[in-house]
Chains A and B, each alone.
Chain A
């Protein structure tokens, strides 16, 4: 059979995608921890004989671009010493191509007639790897040594023989060994299933033809990506965005990118980004590249194959010692926020070049929440990610309640949380008046409210976007801020920082309110069709006062549109104060959290 026949190419691509999906499915259905089985914080990939990925399971988008570095490191370290039945394991971000300690990579080489013809791989975020706080996601860790067990490049399986010593070592260093070891078992089963699928494919097509089709898929993706880049006007687009900062007295952490588009390739230079910090939000390894690729991958749409070839025209550079390319032993476990902000910053730069193709800002990334302690003579650890507001889009509204595109994780069912942990989730709902106004409005913020039932637990979390609000698109408005409010039993409310530099000890009866930012709006809010504004009012997603003040839509007491008054208001077409909507948001918060008073800023006045 002649190689490079376009029909066989499509057949091979379908088969590769289904292998990556199979690894993902085995993992999800036989995993033990809620982070894996419910949130689906993991990724799977199939690689060719060079270690370049040729398929990805439908899981976490931000992980995908990390496989090239992990695979290069694997090949550099193990090179000619791989044997059938080997499974490699690592999480070390400074020596092995990992990203942060919770993300453990398993890589299984696939042999056909004695030579390596591909790899089945899976990367799983594990629920706890030890360290200073339950869930291993504490922001206040200052060195990697405080963050849990670090696994250098090792063999978990040596020619099919399981490395029990290593498993025992891991089990002894984590708070919930049954979950972690169970998830590792599921992860091993996943890559083994992937190996079987890849072998069948190799036998069918022959190693050399198969490899040639992999090359064709890389080329195919590269050509498509070059076409996408070429559709962006040449130029250098600089943009800055921020993480609000650390602890009680936050100083903004700056992200600065210069995106230089030249013909069909692009360079991203992160010079000007803040130096690394003494907290766990440094992003070593391939995370910067992965998040940088993502923006372009989204622009390219869903037709291009998920193969490494598409990364070829994208060049990413960051000076060493910055928060996006830190030196050891910078702590990194809560670094996910950096990925979200890198993605936002690239989109911000592209918004200058192609504003009609870039949506307004989303909620700013997943809030990560962890709590753990002793409960009925057992250790419990609970962690979850809370996300779900999309910014307004050039032709569509934002979305109320859909996972951040960069993470694509699920929420965890409240009933399962309560059945398995000493927690009561008292509310999980939208916050009215929290979407950024726009012709296409931003998705609503979300309130998740926990009551602690154990006598004593330790809580950490990671959030952002309280000062630097989710950005708007074109003439739209910004989104609304994050809030983290702790109410001690019988005590007062306390507003906690976005990135606390401490763990909080919470007691039975304490309540924690976590508020996810509302997303930014796209287009002028006065251009939003009045009937859509009316529908949002009828659904109590916005109040009539908000409709009037921000959309220029006047609603009569019987719920119908006051056409004349609306026309009058809209004729003025004032440039709306982009923070005017915050007063409405704070009023809504006051109705949801008894005793809540807005933080003292200029944004809080003005609700009539």
Chain B
């Protein structure tokens, strides 16, 4: 066997752990194995062992292992994080629990507020005070501090978060308190200070982020050490990189410095993969749709880049627009790929509500009992049941027939629960469920487009996940999107995304000064200092200086506003940064996003930001060969229902390779693969492009009505 340079990606989801191996840029093999939530490393070990045996992989052939994990998110959602204490400025121990007050739903007497991650008994105060400009008003009282830290020690905590007022402006008191805490509590307690995690104004958001960091740190550390152990047991010596919430990967040591950076790594890899696909499209703009069993996630790719936000709530379950509906989870103000998530997936329950309207989700049948048609005890109609009746999903079985499907069970629940109350037939009811689910998902897409002043018609949809390519056509219809791209391996697309994610460090510094009072020299020195720091950290993580690229950004707003817009700063060939250009770009982006701007108003530079990256060794999504596809489809044709306008249509069912051979085919047809199905409705035509994507184009003259 010739020597290979293999990369391995391990992506843990709620139901499945996906493992993908590529040789250079060539996809080699995949393994889908049920996750083992009591100890995720078990499924990883077993999956790798199986894969190594089947694909005859020698551990020494592996050059890189990339891992995406929901371990931190799960710890927060399930309340299984570290026993954490919090030290605050005197008078402000309750900031964490008072939060921002707003309730995420109107008119609900029975609203339940999330419990604080640190209860009041473990929230302690220090006598100290800074002013907004960082000046010391009350010096840190060391005598009292020591007594307080003794109380903390007596509470046998695993972690301590320190967050003092205005520490973003001056970290001196936090620094001293941290040193004293390290001395008194010893190295068994993880200690973290806000000025190191998030030197940004707004005390609740900073406190919450620091607490989250402390809360997940011991869990993340133990977990990553276990993964390192599994790999070494298998003889794998390649470096391990971990996916962060911002779409970049980092080494284990770097992640353990700020473990909160991996809290939202779950959805990130799919979006990174989507960006990679989008870069090869013209124009390079797309909306990614990732839809599995319980939720749908939409994200925006502009000019091939993912969009990030630092306004996020973790553990908030599902929301349409995290920007407006605050208060469901715990604030996390670290850069996160901006994903709008909504409770609509294959397992979403359909029902008639008390007012007689048809609703789909957000409740889900999950993996157990699952949709009724799986015959595993599911008694409530789901979206999957509807799609089986409509013929969109094979009624022979899914996942290559490993999960059998019983169409009669689907018909029974939809007939009883939906069709009869609506006084309609089963087909119309099933189609209604499909349309309502698409309408709900459309809100998620709007949240990342029209809510930001972006017209979805300027974007393609990149659809993946088990159900993404079934729902995308209807979403595209309602938003008048003209193109849908379904990449290869849609069912393990997130794992593939891990392989192409860059190693990345993002650093920011709060400036809070009017542009008019800043010199270009200052701007340049802030940005280059920050870049140097980020580059140093990447070098320490094993990156090569020659491969590192840096992007510069500035967060700006009009004086008096509360929310910034992030503007790219491009240095001139001379290396200079133009303030005029920055201001112009800000006015333009403000007008684009909000529909108004005010050129005469003073503009404030809130912070500067750099992203330093080393690209992944694989520069494109892994290529596949289509040799295994002869096992599909499940049947040569089947009957599909497309609503009253198009009615029941006999449609061919074929594999991706057959579609490629056929050239361009018009809908209706279905492309069936091992773990995903692509629906091509009437009015659309499909082909397979050079990258083996299925590309759906809406035919001219379609008015978009369904």
Contact = CB atoms under 8 A, between A and B. Distances in A.
Interface string B335-373: 000000000000000000111111100000000000000
Interface string A30-41: 111110011010
Contact of B94 (A17, A410, A426, A429): A429
Contacts of B545: none
Contacts of B183: none
A17 B120 CA distance: 38
B91 A426 contact: yes
A6 B558 contact: no
Contacts of A298: 107-109
Interface string A412-435: 011110110000101111100000
B562 interface: yes
A522 B558 CA distance: 47
B121 A538 contact: yes
A29 B446 CA distance: 17
Given A25-B451, A415-B165, A297 B91 contact: no
A10 B439 contact: yes
A188 B100 contact: no
The size bracket of the interface on B is 35 or more
Nearest to A32: B560
A6 B353 CA distance: 12
Contacts of B594: 26, 29-30, 186, 189, 193
Interface in B554-583: 558-563
Interface in A52-69: 56-58, 61
Interface string A271-309: 000000000000000000000001001111111111000
A7 B435 contact: yes
A33 B512 CA distance: 17
A271 B435 CA distance: 50
Contacts of A178: 559-560, 601
A485 interface: no
Contacts of B359: 10
A431 to B, nearest CB: 10
Contacts of B100: 410-411
A14 B101 contact: no
A449 interface: yes
Contacts of A410: 100-102, 326
Given A58-B106, A185-B598, A402-B113, A416 B201 contact: yes
Interface string A350-394: 000000010100000000000000000000000000011000010
Contacts of B97: 400-401, 430
Contacts, number: 238
A541 B563 contact: no
Interface in B91-116: 91-95, 97-113
Interface string B314-338: 0000001101111000000000000
Contact of B101 (A57, A179, A403, A429): A403
A415 B202 contact: yes
A400 B559 CA distance: 34
A11 B102 contact: no
A24 B111 CA distance: 22
A298 B595 CA distance: 35
B704 A428 contact: no
A541 B109 CA distance: 23
B323 A29 contact: yes
A352 B558 CA distance: 52
Contacts of B354: 224, 227, 301, 303
Contacts of A538: 119, 121
A429 B93 contact: yes
Given A37-B563, A182-B598, A427-B91, A7 B324 contact: no
Contacts of B358: 6-7, 10
A518 to B, nearest CB: 14
Contacts of A409: 101-102
A302 B166 contact: no
Contacts of A411: 98, 100-101
Contact of B201 (A179, A419, A430): A419
B590 interface: yes
Interface string B188-213: 00000000000001111100000000
B150 interface: no
A19 to B, nearest CB: 9
A401 B91 contact: no
A493 interface: no
Contacts of B92: 414, 427-429
Given A11-B439, A396-B112, A427-B91, A304 B355 contact: yes
A395 interface: yes
Interface in B206-232: none
B432 interface: yes
Nearest to A225: B355
B324 A58 contact: yes
Contacts of A402: 101, 103, 111, 113
B91 A197 contact: no
Interface in A443-460: 446, 449
A359 B107 CA distance: 13
Contacts of B99: 401
Given A6-B358, A415-B132, A30 B561 contact: yes
B553 interface: no
A6 B357 contact: yes
Contacts of A61: 106-107
A192 interface: yes
A157 interface: no
Nearest to B354: A303
B131 interface: yes
Nearest to A303: B353
A220 B353 CA distance: 11
A57 B326 CA distance: 13
Interface string B439-477: 110110011001101000000000000000000000000
Interface in B267-326: 320-321, 323-326
B596 interface: yes
A28 interface: yes
Nearest to A396: B110
A539 B594 CA distance: 44
A371 to B, nearest CB: 17
A270 B310 CA distance: 49
Given A18-B446, A413-B204, A418 B166 contact: yes
Contacts of B120: 430, 539-541
Given A18-B320, A189-B596, A414-B165, A430 B107 contact: no
Contacts of A56: 106
Nearest to A446: B98
A445 B270 CA distance: 46
Interface string A191-221: 0110001000000100000000000000011
B113 A38 contact: no
Contacts of B558: 32, 182
A89 B103 CA distance: 29
B705 interface: yes
**Shortest 4 CB-CB contacts between residues of A and residues of B:** A427-B91, A539-B120, A32-B560, A37-B562
Given A32-B560, A185-B598, A424-B131, 10 more contacts: A18-B450, A32-B561, A298-B107, A300-B107, A302-B107, A305-B355, A400-B97, A408-B103, A415-B201, A428-B95
Interface of A: 1, 6-7, 9-11, 13-15, 17-18, 21-22, 24-26, 28-34, 37-38, 40, 56-58, 61, 178-179, 182, 185-186, 188-189, 192-193, 197, 204, 220-221, 223-224, 227, 294, 297-306, 357, 359, 387-388, 393, 395-396, 399-403, 405, 408-411, 413-416, 418-419, 424, 426-430, 446, 449, 538-541
26 contacts: A6-B357, A7-B358, A10-B357, A10-B439, A18-B443, A18-B447, A18-B451, A30-B561, A32-B560, A37-B563, A182-B558, A182-B601, A188-B596, A193-B595, A204-B705, A224-B355, A303-B354, A303-B357, A357-B109, A359-B109, A388-B98, A399-B113, A401-B98, A402-B111, A403-B101, A415-B203
